Amino acid sequence: MAIDKTDPSPQQPSKLRWGELDEDDGEDLDFLLPPKQVHGPDENGIKRVIEYKFNEDGNRVKITTTTRVRKLAKARVSKRAMERRGWAKFGDAVHEDVGSRLTMVSTEEILLERPRAPGSKPEEPKVAGDSLAQLGKGGAILMVCRTCGKKGDHWTSRCPYKDLAPQTEAFVDKPAASETSAAAAGSGKSTYVPPSMRAGAERTGGSDMRRRNDENSVRVTNLSEDTREPDLLELFRTFGPVTRVYVAIDQKTGVSRGFGFVNFVNREDAQRAINKLNGYGYDNLILRVEWATPRAN
DNA sequence: GATGAGCGC
């Protein structure tokens, strides 16, 4: 820091009565002084500030403050970060001094996309056309049912179709037919009755109550190589609950063989999917969607 | 153009 006495500029004393300076000691007369000048920092980090003040004798003095900035930063900040400092500023920061602030709070308006308006009901997949139109628009939906794949409607444990999912042996603890009503009446330790044992439940007759979901199977051909099962699910879910998707993969090469299958809970949904998606352009190809002939076995 | 996997008593 250096303090130079400079002569007051010739014009100023005419307006300024120097005698008053003593009386008004401490009064803010700084507006009479030339504005503060800031030079740099230059490429060596040297910053020079020139300001003018009145000293106690009422004389104008020039104060030059020379500081070296970024010396510490230079040692710590990576080369890449230093490069970034040279980038042109944009947005609200356009008018900021270079190097005056490293970060700033943005007041710019940023629009966020929401999957749907807050508080509104999730889209019903009833109208296939509308749902299809929304395909690919994306949007994060956190609640996804692992049984039927439906998003934003219910959790896996509440799935209305969970009975169709393969059950673990441990939970298919079925009482003998005569005990069923007693258990249901609550006289036993448990009042729980497996769905397959409830009144009105479809009897499959066999000892294995787990249903094979090969019903309502739809064959999809002319798929592009990079269409995977999740893609098919996305495409077909809009018509109704899907029990299974499968894409045939070449075991040797691991690439898709260009066809797959989608099984629906409801036959009508499968039919609607066929009507709507057969001939539907997907990934530059025209899909073929038909009823599948039952698997040989 | 094309019709899916697999445990092995």
Per-residue pLDDT tens for A143-167? 666 666 666 666 666 666 655 544 3
pLDDT-above-90 percentage for chain A: 24
- DSSP SS3 for A259: strand
Mean residue pLDDT of chain A comes to 69
Pairing of strands A288-291, A285-286: unpaired
Chain B footprint positions (protein CB, under 7 Å)? 1-6
Q: Which long-range contacts (CB under 8 A, 24 or more apart) does A35-41 make?
A: A38/A97, A41/A69, A41/A70, A41/A99
Sign of the CA dihedral with A200 first, then A201, A206, and A207 last: negative
Query: Is residue A276 assigned to a domain?
Result: yes
Query: Is residue A269 assigned to a domain?
Result: yes
Residue A181 predicted with pLDDT over 70: no
Residue A29 predicted with pLDDT over 60: yes
Neighbours of A206 (CB within 10 A): 8
- Number of structural domains chain A divides into: 3
The answer on A106 and A179 residing in a single domain is no
Residue A169 contacts residue A210 (beta carbons within 8 Å): no
- Domain of A187? 168-209
Footprint of strand B on the protein (CB under 7 A): A 214, 217, 219, 221-222, 246, 248-249, 251, 257-259, 261, 288, 290, 292-297
pLDDT-based confidence at A95, cuts 50/70/90? Answer: confident
Q: Which residue has the higher pLDDT, A90 or A266?
A: A266
Q: Which residue has the higher pLDDT, A96 or A126?
A: A96
Residue A274 contacts residue A291 (beta carbons within 8 Å): yes
The answer on A279 and A203 residing in a single domain is no
- SS3 for A64-97 is EEEEECCHHHHHHCCHHHHHHHCCCCCHHHHHCC
Residue A262 contacts residue A273 (beta carbons within 8 Å): yes
Report for A79-93, A127-141, A213-227: range of highest mean pLDDT:
A213-227
Q: How far is the CA of A278 from the C1' of B1 (A)?
A: 17
Q: How far is the CA of A222 from the C1' of B7 (A)?
A: 32
pLDDT of residue A263: 94
Query: Is residue A117 assigned to a domain?
Result: no
Q: Which residue has the higher pLDDT, A43 or A288?
A: A288
